[in-house]
């Protein structure tokens, strides 16, 4: 496909309908802000109406307009309601970012079956069902972008963190399956694998000796700032990424390639 106009225009998300799960803070909120600044109509998501409204208000204070749809993306009925809201308001969903996730750091021997089930339902099954429903809308206009947030931790194993990498590897498998299944309909599927980012969730670790050691190990010598993930998210959501499909792209300062 030959692109027309400037590359700046092709990075524009003007008029695109974007839904980002688990996006009331951290990396999800930064991606929402960036996509909205590029012209998209962005819907952020949190488990409660209060948290979602608070995040919308926070961005509004920065001059960024987004809307919120509350719902637990590990609950099928909530997923169905979110997609129904997008369909009722716009008849479509152009970009989905699967960003929800939880992490329980402990060895496999310490997990009970309910904790395992919880991590699988939140991190993997919810994303699978949400992607299924969003892709069905994307097929109507034969254009769409499925973006899944995995982790560099999905490619390695570390003591005391047994189930999280399993769920992230599962997301990679899902992303690749979607890439094959939907590409001929103009729908691409890719993943962003963040490394160590200075988010609210990681604040305690950042300030610890272990966190400082981790920063020194990174080729950049520091933790990533949340806004540093936003550019790749915008690119993958744009027209310019049309031939990028089925890929996991790490955003980690080079940590994953350091021997």
Highest mean pLDDT among 196-200, 212-216, 229-233: 229-233
The answer, yes or no, to whether residue 154 has pLDDT greater than 80, is: no
Residue 4 pLDDT: 58
Percent of the chain at pLDDT > 70 equals 97
Q: Is 26 left (phi over 0), alpha (psi -120 to 50) or beta?
A: left
Residues contacting 134, CB < 8 A, separation 6+? 19, 83, 93, 96, 144, 146
The answer, yes or no, to whether residue 121 has pLDDT greater than 60, is: yes
The answer, yes or no, to whether residue 36 has pLDDT greater than 90, is: yes
φ/ψ (deg, to 5) at 93: -140, 115
Residue 206's pLDDT band (boundaries 50, 70, 90)?
confident
Residue 258 pLDDT: 85
Residue 160 pLDDT: 80
The answer, yes or no, to whether residue 2 has pLDDT greater than 60, is: no
Per domain, the residue ranges of the chain are 13-251
Partners of 251 in beta bridges: 194
CATH 3.40.50.720 for domain 13-251, yes or no, is: yes
Residue 5 pLDDT: 60
Q: Active-site residue numbers?
A: 164
The answer, yes or no, to whether residue 150 has pLDDT greater than 90, is: yes
Residue 156's pLDDT band (boundaries 50, 70, 90)?
confident
Output 179 or 204, whichever has higher pLDDT. 179
Query: Which of 52-56, 104-108, 177-181, 238-242 has the weakest average pLDDT?
Result: 104-108
- What is the distance between the alpha carbons of residues 193 and 172, in angstroms, rounded to a whole number? 10
Q: How many CA atoms lie within 13 A of 62 on its CB side?
A: 14
**Of 255, 208, 199, nearest in space to 22 by CA:** 199
């Amino acid at each position: 496909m030959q692109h027309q106009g400037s590359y700046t225009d092709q990075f524009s998300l003007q008029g695109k309908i974007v839904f980002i799960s688990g996006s009331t803070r951290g990396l999800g909120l930064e991606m929402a802000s960036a996509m909205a600044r590029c012209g998209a109509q962005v819907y952020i998501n949190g488990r409660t109406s209060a948290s979602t409204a608070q995040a919308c208000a926070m961005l509004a204070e920065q001059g960024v307009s987004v809307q919120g749809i509350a719902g637990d993306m590990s609950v099928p009925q909530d997923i169905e309601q979110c997609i129904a809201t997008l369909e009722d308001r716009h008849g479509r969903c152009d970009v989905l970012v699967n960003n929800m996730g939880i992490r329980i750091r402990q060895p496999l021997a310490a997990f009970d079956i309910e904790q395992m089930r919880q991590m699988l339902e939140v991190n993997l099954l919810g994303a699978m069902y949400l992607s299924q429903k969003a892709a069905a809308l994307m097929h109507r206009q034969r254009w769409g972008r499925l973006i899944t947030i995995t982790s560099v931790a999905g490619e390695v194993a570390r003591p005391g963190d047994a189930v999280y990498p399993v769920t992230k590897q599962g997301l990679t498998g899902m992303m690749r399956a979607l890439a094959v299944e939907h590409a001929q309909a103009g729908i691409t599927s890719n993943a962003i694998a963040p490394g160590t980012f200075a988010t609210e969730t990681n604040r305690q670790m950042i300030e610890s000796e272990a966190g400082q050691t981790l920063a020194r190990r990174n080729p950049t010598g520091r933790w990533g700032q949340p806004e540093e993930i936003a550019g790749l998210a915008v690119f993958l959501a744009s027209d310019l990424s049309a031939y990028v499909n089925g890929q996991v792209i790490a955003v980690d300062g080079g940590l994953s390639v350091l021997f």
